[in-house]
Amino acid sequence: MQLVIGGACAGKRGLVQRWYPHARWHALEGAARHAILPASGETLVVSGWAGWIQAALASTPSDDEALRLALTERLDALLATEAERAAQVVLIVEEMGRGIVPMGAERRRLRDLNGWLAQDASARCERVWYVRHGLYRRLDTPDAQVGSCAARD
């Protein structure tokens, strides 16, 4: 499993599309939907985590630990299924934790849960990529691999 993280409009999707042009993309939406899992041999790109969290916040008023657990269960299911089915999973997560603390409680919770998601995903991923202004850098190794999201390999 791989994690691609970066700020809004940083070039994350372009990078993943270039690397995996035949991947199936799935954007998470409603919090109540069943976990999406990869089919045998396929590459599955899962995005829209912030949308999932926002929907879940509305239905789970104050239990952030339960929401974090629900997210990690989804990550664990993706990881286990990836291995069982010889598939590849790519997670796209938005970095949103570097601005000022939001005034509204719900946006603060979204920011916290999104940050925990990034940590929990990173801990489970074989490779972690940080995308910034259309350039990428591998974070999970001291030998940083860098490149351009637009360039050809």
Partner 1 sequence: MIAFVSGGARSGKSAFAERLVRDYQRHRGGPRYYLATATPGDSEMAARIARHRAERGDGWRTLEAAALDLALAEVEPGSSLLLDCLTLWASRALFEFSLEESAALAQLERTLAKARAADIALVIVSNDINEGMPPQDDASWRYLALLQAGHCRVAAEADCVVQVVAGLPQVWKGSLP
Interface residue list for partner 1 (CB under 8 A): 6-11, 50, 94-100, 102, 107, 110-111, 132-135, 137, 146, 148-151
The greatest distance separating any two alpha carbons of the chain, rounded to the nearest whole angstrom, comes to: 46
Nearest distance, CB of residue 85 and partner 1, angstroms: 33
Cα separation of 141 and 145, whole Å?
8
Amino acid residing at 97: G
Nearest distance, CB of residue 11 and partner 1, angstroms: 5
Q: Which CB atom, from 68 or from 132, has the smaller least distance to partner 1?
A: 132
Nearest distance, CB of residue 52 and partner 1, angstroms: 14
DSSP per-residue letters across 9-60: TSSHHHHHHHH-TT-EEEE---TTSPPP-PPTT-EEEEE-HHHHHHHHHHHS
Q: Which CB atom, from 87 or from 121, has the smaller least distance to partner 1?
A: 121
Q: Which CB atom, from 82 or from 136, has the smaller least distance to partner 1?
A: 136
Cα separation of 138 and 129, whole Å?
5
Q: Which CB atom, from 39 or from 144, has the smaller least distance to partner 1?
A: 144
